[in-house]
Amino acid sequence: MKFLRISIYLPLFLAITASFSQNKITENQQLWLGYITESKFSESFSWWNDTHWVPESFLIVRTGLTYHFGEKYKMTSTLGYGHTWIYPPEGSSTFRPEHRPWGQTTLSHQFNSIRFFHRLRYEARFRGLIVDDYLQNEFNFNYRFRYLLQARYYFKNQEKGKFYLMASDEILFNAGQEIKDNFRLDQNRISLGIGYQIKKMTFQIAYMNQLVESNTNFTFRMNHNLQILVFHNFDLRKKSSSD
């Protein structure tokens, strides 16, 4: 197990180190708001919806169908579609649309008092082309691969809701013919926060350090995000008459 952890994280560490050497970084402060729902309508299937809004940066709406492999495995797979509106840079007025079919697989497990959550996500990004502040009837295309590792520690002896501490890291890579060397680091997102879970809802507030590679070599943007997320689970399954 120790060797497996090293084999996973060492390549990621080396990739980040190589990409961040000899770099120039500009910093910004942002507010990140998100609402994520899961509506389970059978033992094996649920409907996923989420919306994230970062003012002056982007708005994304995603939906998808999720298959649950069962309580024993704590594993899901989702296929869906997302649409993104990218805010224009300063001095421009045209929003960039993006069509984003996506898929993901998640796995959760517990070790002692810590709950781990893994997510591997694939995105196909059809990004609207803008020329001289005019949206063209053309799209640039690339893939993006994302891996998220999150750990939660729930405080003990809680009667009603459950407070927890959260730490996570997500690394994102772009790939495709329009990407330099066909495969390149896009972002790294490190988050630390606290959450409160009660019944079917979870509220989470966190600081996210988001390092984004710009189009220019060795130039990065570091966003300091105050992230506020709400998770809401719905059970749409019909209850039996004996319940």
pLDDT of residue 3: 46
Which residues have C-beta within 8 Å of that of residue 105, sequence separation ≥ 6?
Answer: 75, 76, 77, 78, 119, 120
**Is residue 83 included in any domain, yes or no?**
yes
Model confidence over 198-231: pLDDT tens digits?
989 999 999 999 999 876 667 889 999 999 999 9
Q: Out of 46-50, 68-72, 93-97, 120-124, which region has the weakest mean confidence (pLDDT)? A: 68-72
CATH code where residue 118 lies: 2.40.160
pTM here is 0.86
Q: Looking at the predicted structure, is the pLDDT value of residue 16 above 70? A: no
Q: In this predicted model, what pLDDT tens digit does every residue of 66-90 receive, in sequence order?
A: 999 987 779 999 999 999 999 999 8
DSSP symbol at 92: -
Any domain includes 229: yes
Q: Could you report the per-residue pLDDT of 149-175, keeping only the tens digit for each?
A: 999 999 987 766 799 999 999 999 999
14: helix, coil or strand? Answer: helix
The residue segments making up the domain with residue 132 are 28-184+191-235
Q: Is residue 6 a part of any domain in this protein?
A: no
Residue with tokens 């019944």: 199
Q: Is 9 a member of any domain?
A: no
More confident residue, 73 or 48: 48
In a domain, 163, yes or no: yes
Residue 18 domain-assigned? no
Within-domain flag for 112? yes
In a domain, 201, yes or no: yes
> What pLDDT is attached to residue 13?
55
Give how many domains the chain has, as a whole number. Answer: 1
Spatial contact of 16 and 211, defined as CB atoms under 8 Å apart:
no
